[in-house]
């Protein structure tokens, strides 16, 4: 496309946007919305409130919804896998998700941690 054709196309787009802007300027609904927003912001400034304060007053449960989303994200941690240890000396089996198991601690104290870890069945 030549520079002149590109210029004319952009000029037409600009003219169309200016016409749309004039139509919006004459729209009564838009004028009422602008007036409402202006009055609302003046009122908020007069009483020292923010939009967040107003939302909290009108919908007190809205802050709970955000907190619930944060809890779900926090709770999305992968669950620990169950480990099964089998003592070859006594045949006793211990199932645990962590290392804080009484019998497992006794075995580690008696046989050593490396030896007990080698008894991991799963």
pLDDT above 70 for 104: yes
pLDDT tier at 111 (50, 70, 90 boundaries)? very high
How far apart CA 45 and CA 113 sit, in angstroms, is: 67
Domain residue extents for the chain:
3-64, 83-118
The predicted model scores a pTM of 0.40
14-26 in b/e form (b: 16+ CB < 10 A) is eeeeeeeeeeeee
- Sign of the CA dihedral 15, 21, 22, 27? positive
Query: What integer pLDDT is reported at residue 77 of this predicted model?
Result: 81
Q: What is the mean pLDDT of residues 35-63?
A: 88
Q: What is the mean pLDDT of residues 47-58?
A: 88
pLDDT above 80 for 83: yes
pLDDT above 70 for 122: no
pLDDT, tens only, 56-79: 888 888 776 655 555 556 667 888
């Amino acid at each position: 496309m030549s520079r002149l054709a590109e210029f004319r196309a952009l000029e037409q787009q600009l003219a169309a946007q200016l016409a749309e802007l004039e139509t919006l300027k004459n729209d009564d609904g838009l004028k009422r919305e602008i007036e409402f927003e202006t009055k609302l912001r003046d009122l908020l400034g007069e009483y020292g409130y923010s939009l967040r304060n107003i939302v909290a007053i009108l919908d007190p449960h809205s802050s709970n919804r955000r907190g619930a989303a944060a809890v779900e994200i926090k709770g999305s941690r992968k669950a620990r896998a169950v480990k099964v240890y089998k003592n070859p000396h006594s045949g006793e089996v211990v199932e645990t998700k962590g290392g804080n198991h009484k019998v497992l601690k006794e075995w580690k104290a008696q046989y050593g941690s490396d030896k007990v870890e080698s008894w991991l069945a799963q």
